[in-house]
Amino acid sequence: MPHESISVFDIFKIGIGPSSSHTLGPWRAAQRFLSSIQKIKNLKEIKRVEVLLYGSLAKTGKGHGTDIAIQLGLSGDDPVSFEVDLLHKKIEGIRSSQKIWLHNEYEISFSPEQDIHFLYTESLPYHPNAVSFLADFSDGEKLAETYYSIGGGFVKKEGEEETGNMNIQLPFPIDNANELLHWCMKTGMGISEVVMENEMAWRSEADIKKGLLDIWRVMKDCMYKGSHTLGQLPGGLNVKRRAAHLNKKLLGDKEYKNYESWIDSIREKGNDFKYTLDWVSCFALAVNEENASFGRVVTAPTNGAAGVIPAVLQYFVVFCDGDRNEKIIQFMLTAAEIGSIFKKGATISAAMGGCQAEIGVSSAMAAAALTECMGGTQRQALMAAEIAMEHHLGLTCDPIAGLVQVPCIERNTMGAIKAITASQLALQSTPDFAKVSLDDVICTMWDTALDMNSKYKETSDGGLAVHIPISLSEC
């Protein structure tokens, strides 16, 4: 079986909320569809484009902004650089004009209501998140392509042979935790050091470090913005933002001008347990309130779980003397490898595995990273990841009204707190006596995912989504 090589920058992607699988993935799929057309045709030959959404993409696509993402992807906009403040204006422009500029080059008639079809009762066998694009050309020819958004912004085209990263030869190939530990023991390197050596198969060490610090900058900007933005979240649930209120309550009338002075202000008020706990919650809430508002976030490893890694890393920076670039890079390298192992051995898609695949995986990633950065051994880091996931097993994905708000936003605070607790447990434990390995818990997570009823896999057909009296039609 060919080895799958996954880069740190495959796990951490800059994008726009609210969902990596339902927003970022379809956005990328639309971009790829246009690229396919441009290889064989001129965009001016297109008469019509239709989009078919299946399975979970249909059932929760409205709440997750799937239709919005596809329109932006067809327009040629990129989620990394698109100005989020212009999003609603652009989408309204397409709706009102009933036209879309393909790749920002050629205008065709396009009605989002008529040309994007939500096939609520249909699913494709490969993956619940499926989207088909249909193009009619002026010469009578047609083109149809199907893509699967398989979690974390990863996209696979139907019938496509595995290429790209499958051909990258890493010095330390890793598919599971045992192999990671093997290389650590053989070389004497820490987890982050092994990952850095592998990452250099793609790019230079300087580029890796710069890229990771750029990722951290986006996370910081997201936390800061979310902690200072009042109001309600879009979508119809009328969920009130809480991070800014909590930030104000904790700091009172303390004055500051930017992120750096904000952090100084937080430190000045101490680090007792309740205070620290409140800030971890605030950091996580801030990120996922931004995510729910179509803000710019980093998949970690998904958008729905985007608040866990930043919250725990911010905790380390603010309260554990971790405010050094080398420690931040170490944290992110370790976290990414744990996310990669979960993707290979199970899934990071809630549509496949429920919320254990998102919050559970992000909590495990953060737990391992924090443990290594706090001086833990490689075995302790893996033990922390195992503890974090073990206590997320079976967690369902049941978003109310298909929105990434309730219970998703609060779950990020819980995942962050569990990660810190798991790290502390591992640091105070001897891994040799552990009964469950990380590979054991990954295998168990996948078995649980396979057994889980589909109504608990990001369909809004079960759980909280059917017990709260709000329907999709109201949103």
Q: What are the tens digits of pLDDT across the range 358-378?
A: 999 999 999 999 999 999 999
pLDDT at 469 over 80: no
> Please, how many CA atoms are within 13 Å of residue 256, restricted to the half-sphere of its CB?
18
Looking at the domain assignment, is residue 270 inside a domain? yes
Instruction: Name the helix (H) or strand (E) containing 132.
Output: strand 129-137
Of the ranges 247-251, 412-416, 437-441, 458-462, which one carries the lowest mean pLDDT score? 458-462
How buried is 323 (Cβ within 10 angstroms: 0-12 exposed, 13-18 middle, 19+ buried)?
Answer: middle
Examine the domain organization and report whether 141 and 183 are in the same domain. no
Examine the domain organization and report whether 213 and 140 are in the same domain. no
Question: Is residue 68 a contact partner of residue 87, using CB atoms and an 8 Å limit?
Answer: yes
pLDDT at 474 over 50: no
With a CB cutoff of 8 Å and minimum separation 6, the contacts of 283 are 223, 227, 307, 310, 311, 314, 315, 416
Residue matched to tokens 């998904």: 302
Examine the domain organization and report whether 333 and 200 are in the same domain. yes
Examine the domain organization and report whether 416 and 268 are in the same domain. yes
pLDDT of the residue at 34:
96
In the listed set 140, 160, 180, which residue is the last one of a domain according to the structure? 160
Looking at the domain assignment, is residue 37 inside a domain? yes
Report angle CA 111, 112, 115 to the nearest 5 degrees: 70
pLDDT of the residue at 2:
59
With a CB cutoff of 8 Å and minimum separation 6, the contacts of 243 are 226, 227, 229, 282, 285, 286, 289
Q: What are the tens digits of pLDDT across the range 388-415?
A: 999 999 999 999 999 999 999 999 999 9
Examine the domain organization and report whether 210 and 132 are in the same domain. no
Count up the domains in the chain and report the number.
Answer: 2
Report angle CA 182, 187, 188 to the nearest 5 degrees: 95
Residue matched to tokens 């023991």: 185
Q: What are phi and psi of 172, to 5 degrees?
A: -130, 80
- Taking the C-alpha atoms of residue 209 and residue 307, their distance in angstroms, rounded to an integer, is 22
pLDDT at 160 over 90: no
With a CB cutoff of 8 Å and minimum separation 6, the contacts of 225 are 286, 290, 295
pLDDT of the residue at 226:
98
Question: Is residue 148 a contact partner of residue 158, using CB atoms and an 8 Å limit?
Answer: yes
Residues β-bridged to residue 54: 119, 130
In angstroms and rounded to an integer, the radius of gyration of the C-alpha atoms of the chain is 22
Question: Is residue 439 a contact partner of residue 333, using CB atoms and an 8 Å limit?
Answer: no
Q: Span 237-258, mean pLDDT? A: 96
Examine the domain organization and report whether 236 and 357 are in the same domain. yes
Helices (H), 149-240: 177-187, 191-199, 205-226
pLDDT at 381 over 80: yes
pLDDT of the residue at 343:
97
- Taking the C-alpha atoms of residue 55 and residue 393, their distance in angstroms, rounded to an integer, is 23
* Structure tokens belonging to residue 49: 């484009």
Here the CATH number for the domain that contains residue 85 is 3.30.1330.90
Of the ranges 78-87, 121-130, 228-237, 463-472, which one carries the lowest mean pLDDT score? 463-472
Strand 13-16, strand 296-299: pairing: antiparallel
CB atoms within 10 A of CB 176: 16
CB atoms within 10 A of CB 136: 16
pLDDT of the residue at 4:
83
Looking at the domain assignment, is residue 10 inside a domain? no
Examine the domain organization and report whether 211 and 300 are in the same domain. yes
Question: Is residue 426 a contact partner of residue 387, using CB atoms and an 8 Å limit?
Answer: yes
Looking at the domain assignment, is residue 5 inside a domain? no
- How many residues are present in the chain? 475
Looking at the domain assignment, is residue 53 inside a domain? yes
pLDDT at 88 over 80: yes
pLDDT of the residue at 321:
87
Instruction: Name the helix (H) or strand (E) containing 59.
Output: helix 55-59
Domain hosting 37: range is 16-160
Examine the domain organization and report whether 275 and 360 are in the same domain. yes
> Please, how many CA atoms are within 13 Å of residue 161, restricted to the half-sphere of its CB?
3
Looking at the domain assignment, is residue 38 inside a domain? yes
Query: Packing angle between helix 191-199 and helix 205-226, nearest 10 degrees?
Result: 110
Residue matched to tokens 């930030």: 247
pLDDT of the residue at 162:
57
Q: What are phi and psi of 5, to 5 degrees?
A: -95, 120
pLDDT at 472 over 50: no
Residues β-bridged to residue 13: 299
What share of the chain has pLDDT > 90, as a percent? 95
In the listed set 160, 188, 207, which residue is the last one of a domain according to the structure? 160
Examine the domain organization and report whether 195 and 332 are in the same domain. yes
- Taking the C-alpha atoms of residue 442 and residue 438, their distance in angstroms, rounded to an integer, is 6
In the listed set 120, 139, 160, which residue is the last one of a domain according to the structure? 160
CB burial string 31-49: b at 16+ within 10 A, e below: bbbbeebeeebebeebeeb
Examine the domain organization and report whether 137 and 277 are in the same domain. no
Looking at the domain assignment, is residue 322 inside a domain? yes
Examine the domain organization and report whether 230 and 149 are in the same domain. no
Q: What are the tens digits of pLDDT across the range 279-303?
A: 999 999 999 999 999 999 999 999 9
Residue matched to tokens 């890793």: 174
Examine the domain organization and report whether 331 and 432 are in the same domain. yes
Residue matched to tokens 């067809």: 74
pLDDT of the residue at 468:
87
Question: Is residue 197 a contact partner of residue 189, using CB atoms and an 8 Å limit?
Answer: yes
Looking at the domain assignment, is residue 232 inside a domain? yes
